[in-house]
Structure 1
Amino acid sequence: MPRSERVRPWLALLGLILGVCVTNGFARFAYGLLLPAMQADLGWSYAQAGWLNTANALGYIGGALLTMVLIRRAGPARLFAFGMVTTAVALTAPGQDPALGWQTLWRVLAGFFGAMSFATAGALAAQLFRDDPRRNALAIALLFGAGGGIGIVLAGAVLPLLLDRLGPAAWPMAWTLIGLVCFAFLPLGRWSAHVLRPARLARAPEPQPLPIRQMLPQIGGYAGFGLGYIVYLTFLSAWMTELGASAELIALVWVLLGLCLCLSPFLWRPVLARFATGLPLALILVGVATGSLLPVLWPGGLGLVVSAAVFGLCVFMAPGAVTSFLRQNLPPDSWGPGLSLFTVVFAVAQTLGPFGAGLIGDLAQNIGVSLAVAAAVLLCGAGSALLQRRLVTPD
């Protein structure tokens, strides 16, 4: 096989990874790093600051629902490319106007368009190395692990130190910088979508409905993931600020979190490749719950560092576990619709998580209680996923 033929799939995977970096690492989580500066500079209340995360999650629900409707007609490659371009625009715009209405609009659109790329990236990655289960499992794991990890490493390494040096008023510059990086990632991401479009399987004249009833344990587990994981990522910086952490420690924890995300595919690849049940998702959720609970049981700098490492080694493998489960149990023409369904479930749960955690934190006057409750929800999700069995009998 010519060297170019061997390199091409990995280069296409890199483009998909950069797409997830834009729609996941930047669109979903960079706001958590910018929120304290925006709140201080603009005089927002916690309700106003929290509303923007809710707005982003609501947009994500809309994008996931539309993707589920359009994916058979437009195809995952076209939706991925479109979502990546429009998300880049939505991440550049917030720095142009501080008005809350303007900020709300672009957070909604970042979630809406980001969902399109994120929901279709897995379907595209599932087509890589279709005759090699081990490489396919690695590709899927790298997509979600490295995709989110690269974004968090870049944002965590730059934004806290930038805002500490220039002050809270520099938040518009931070958004512009994020947008420029997103646009730099576009060419390779769009090329990957173009390359994978011919490989898209022909649409079945009468596609079979998804076996939703048989997948309920896995759906329940993924809902638990959406409810629980977002609490940690929403309140991590706030928790560290309450503990009096320096900008350097905040940057270190976020960079470590991102690096562990990038390493997580190599840890979980054998598990994803071997099991076609809900066991991989269950194990991952136990790890995410442990990482969420550690800051409460072990407060302080070292506890935060260990927590970030454990959490990072597990959290973004949940989408990989779902993608691998669908690939091993459903026919290829059902991968896209199946991923869209799970994305909708995840989006709805993710919307409820921060709001519920905020209420619990207000009532208890301790955000650590919210982290503990999130860990309990994640463990419930793990119990649900553990009940999931194979949907088809291996050939």
Structure 2
Amino acid sequence: MMGTKSAFNWITLWASLLFVVILGFSRLSYGMFLPGIQRVIGGSYGQLGILGTVNFIGYLAGSLCLSPVISRFPERKQAINRMTCFGLGIAMLGSAFSDHFIQLGLWRFAIGLLSAFATVLVLSIAMDAVRPEERGVASGFIWLGGSAGILLTGVFAPLTIDPSHEQGWRYAWAAMGVFGVVAAAGFEFVIRQHRSAPVPSGAEGELRDPERVQVYRLLLNPKKLLFLIGSYFFFGSGYIIYFTYLIPYLVSKGIPSLYAGLIWSGIGFAGLFNGWIGGKAIDRWPSGYTLASGLTLGTIGVCGVMTGHLLFTALGAITIGLVSFITPPLMTTALLRRHVPHSAYAACLSIATAFFASGQIIGPILGGVAVERQGLQFGVASSAVFMAIAAALAGMYGRQQRKVQLRDVPLGS
């Protein structure tokens, strides 16, 4: 096993660079590229939103498959991670050459499948190398890679949104794929450099059937983690609606591609601080209330779209980037790390990710229906409903934690 380190080390650095691809490029760049994809491939925004759903069906499939795969091959976790990370970069490259719906849909499914494996495995491997008291900060550092990915895709906006660059989204996706391959190689190199001994049998992820049953009971028990998992599900639905349809909404308003890209990059730039703030906060106050605070502010941020004013929309987007884009995933993973057995963490995170993915499947479908019936502005704003439910459930989880803490306090203390 690798010796534990501080939150900031070469392993977490390369893990963060991988999350640029896993989250920022593979998942969220699709919303930025929608206008360009529509011009080349055709279809309505509702139809193109279905391709986003296909991506998350792949993400759900990967989340469900990961736990049994790790259980079957517990000693091969790093090898599986290596294959999925390299495969993700290659799939990004392949999607850049799509010419029709089915082809792009297959690539989006593969990207979703591989990114689900990579999300859990990269976090799990990197957290094993970090001291327990610094894992919240380390998680924030890794997740902020997703914010950096959004920031970079915003820089591509003039190339991907402007009608004069019809094939711009292809070049951007190809560059992202190359970056993904390089990041996968860097992560593999540092893991090999710091590995001092093989993982012993019985290590994390090797769960017998009775233990796996206990994992589900832990996650789905209303007195344990169900409210936390429910919050993660509704957050998945809410945030993906916002990120899928925000740029098409701005384009439909006639906003110049440069300004739309700046708003998108503003989310990513604010998210760079989100990772640090969220990691510090969850280490200091490891509670559902901390999670609920960020989600509540994010709900308010989404409401900026309802005003129809560019300034309030931009301020709302930056608010989301600052407090409720990276915060929910990193806080959920950090809370799980605190409250589940070490040997079951990868399995629990995999199941939690499956709930998150299910929310992301439902979100684009419902958002697409809202867009088709009421327009892009209403579709984007509908994400506030899901964010508010997520905040309420996180608050209920915090209340539940508080009750447990009070019950465990010895009398007379």
Alignment-mate amino acid for residue 18 of structure 1: L
Q: Would the alpha carbon gap of residues 8 and 280 (structure 1) be closer, same or farther in structure 2, given more than 3 Å must change?
A: closer
- Asked whether the 8 Å contact 1:137–1:324 carries over to 2, the reply is yes
Partners in 1 of 2:155 and 2:199 — Cα distance? 37
Q: How many percent identity over aligned positions?
A: 24
Instruction: Tell me which residue corresponds to 1:379.
Output: 388
Partners in 2 of 1:38 and 1:83 — Cα distance? 26
Q: Would the alpha carbon gap of residues 197 and 191 (structure 1) be closer, same or farther in structure 2, given more than 3 Å must change?
A: farther
1:18-167 maps to which residues of 2 (within 5 A)? Answer: 18-75=17-74, 76-131=77-132, 133=133, 135-144=134-143, 146-161=144-159, 164=162, 166-167=164-165
Structure 2 residue corresponding to 1:287, chosen from 297, 304, 307: 297
Q: State yes or no: 1:175 paired with 2:173.
A: yes
Worse-superposed segment, 38-47 or 379-388: 38-47
Alignment-mate amino acid for residue 260 of structure 1: A
Partners in 2 of 1:199 and 1:277 — Cα distance? 35
Alignment-mate amino acid for residue 295 of structure 1: V
Alignment-mate amino acid for residue 138 of structure 2: A
- Asked whether the 8 Å contact 1:243–1:300 carries over to 2, the reply is no
Q: Would the alpha carbon gap of residues 200 and 257 (structure 1) be closer, same or farther in structure 2, given more than 3 Å must change?
A: farther
For residue 57 of structure 1, give the secondary structure of its aligned residue in structure 2: helix
Instruction: Tell me which residue corresponds to 2:368.
Output: 358
Cα deviations across residues 63-114 of structure 1 (Å, max 9, x unaligned)? 1111122223435433332221111111001222413221111111000101
- Asked whether the 8 Å contact 1:295–1:304 carries over to 2, the reply is yes
Q: Would the alpha carbon gap of residues 337 and 6 (structure 1) be closer, same or farther in structure 2, given more than 3 Å must change?
A: closer
Alignment-mate amino acid for residue 155 of structure 2: A
Q: Would the alpha carbon gap of residues 306 and 171 (structure 1) be closer, same or farther in structure 2, given more than 3 Å must change?
A: same
Structure 1 residue corresponding to 2:327, chosen from 317, 331, 341: 317
Instruction: Tell me which residue corresponds to 2:249.
Output: 239
CA offset at residue 285 of structure 1? 1.4
Alignment-mate amino acid for residue 115 of structure 2: G
The count of corresponding residues between Structure 1 and Structure 2 is 387
Alignment-mate amino acid for residue 22 of structure 1: V
Alignment-mate amino acid for residue 44 of structure 1: G
CA offset at residue 163 of structure 1? 5.0
Partners in 1 of 2:123 and 2:34 — Cα distance? 29
Partners in 2 of 1:249 and 1:205 — Cα distance? 50
1:221-236 maps to which residues of 2 (within 5 A)? Answer: 221-236=231-246
CA offset at residue 181 of structure 1? 2.0
CA offset at residue 142 of structure 1? 1.4
- Asked whether the 8 Å contact 1:124–1:196 carries over to 2, the reply is no
- Asked whether the 8 Å contact 2:36–2:160 carries over to 1, the reply is no
- Cα RMSD over matched residues? 2.6
Structure 2 residue corresponding to 1:256, chosen from 266, 286, 296: 266
Partners in 1 of 2:7 and 2:289 — Cα distance? 32
Q: Would the alpha carbon gap of residues 60 and 50 (structure 1) be closer, same or farther in structure 2, given more than 3 Å must change?
A: same
- Asked whether the 8 Å contact 2:91–2:110 carries over to 1, the reply is yes
Alignment-mate amino acid for residue 322 of structure 1: T
Cα deviations across residues 318-343 of structure 1 (Å, max 9, x unaligned)? 11111111111122112111110110
Q: Would the alpha carbon gap of residues 336 and 175 (structure 1) be closer, same or farther in structure 2, given more than 3 Å must change?
A: same
CA offset at residue 7 of structure 1? 8.1
Q: TM-score, normalised by structure 1?
A: 0.90
Q: Would the alpha carbon gap of residues 130 and 304 (structure 1) be closer, same or farther in structure 2, given more than 3 Å must change?
A: same
Long gaps (5+) in structure 2: none
Q: TM-score, normalised by structure 2?
A: 0.86
- Asked whether the 8 Å contact 2:41–2:99 carries over to 1, the reply is yes
Instruction: Tell me which residue corresponds to 1:17.
Output: 16
Partners in 1 of 2:7 and 2:135 — Cα distance? 14
Q: Would the alpha carbon gap of residues 118 and 98 (structure 1) be closer, same or farther in structure 2, given more than 3 Å must change?
A: same
Instruction: Tell me which residue corresponds to 1:348.
Output: 358
Q: Would the alpha carbon gap of residues 254 and 12 (structure 1) be closer, same or farther in structure 2, given more than 3 Å must change?
A: same
CA offset at residue 382 of structure 1? 1.3
- Asked whether the 8 Å contact 2:12–2:126 carries over to 1, the reply is yes
Q: Would the alpha carbon gap of residues 16 and 198 (structure 1) be closer, same or farther in structure 2, given more than 3 Å must change?
A: farther
CA offset at residue 192 of structure 1? 4.2
- Asked whether the 8 Å contact 2:5–2:131 carries over to 1, the reply is no
Partners in 2 of 1:33 and 1:22 — Cα distance? 15
Partners in 2 of 1:156 and 1:225 — Cα distance? 23
Partners in 1 of 2:198 and 2:242 — Cα distance? 38
Instruction: Tell me which residue corresponds to 1:305.
Output: 314
- Asked whether the 8 Å contact 1:25–1:150 carries over to 2, the reply is yes
Partners in 2 of 1:64 and 1:22 — Cα distance? 18
Alignment-mate amino acid for residue 277 of structure 2: L
Cα deviations across residues 201-233 of structure 1 (Å, max 9, x unaligned)? 743675462212121111111111011111110
- Asked whether the 8 Å contact 1:278–1:385 carries over to 2, the reply is yes
Long gaps (5+) in structure 1: none
Partners in 2 of 1:161 and 1:336 — Cα distance? 39
Alignment-mate amino acid for residue 108 of structure 1: F
Q: Would the alpha carbon gap of residues 63 and 193 (structure 1) be closer, same or farther in structure 2, given more than 3 Å must change?
A: farther
Cα deviations across residues 337-387 of structure 1 (Å, max 9, x unaligned)? 111011000001110001112212323x23333333321221112111212
Alignment-mate amino acid for residue 231 of structure 1: I
CA offset at residue 267 of structure 1? 1.8
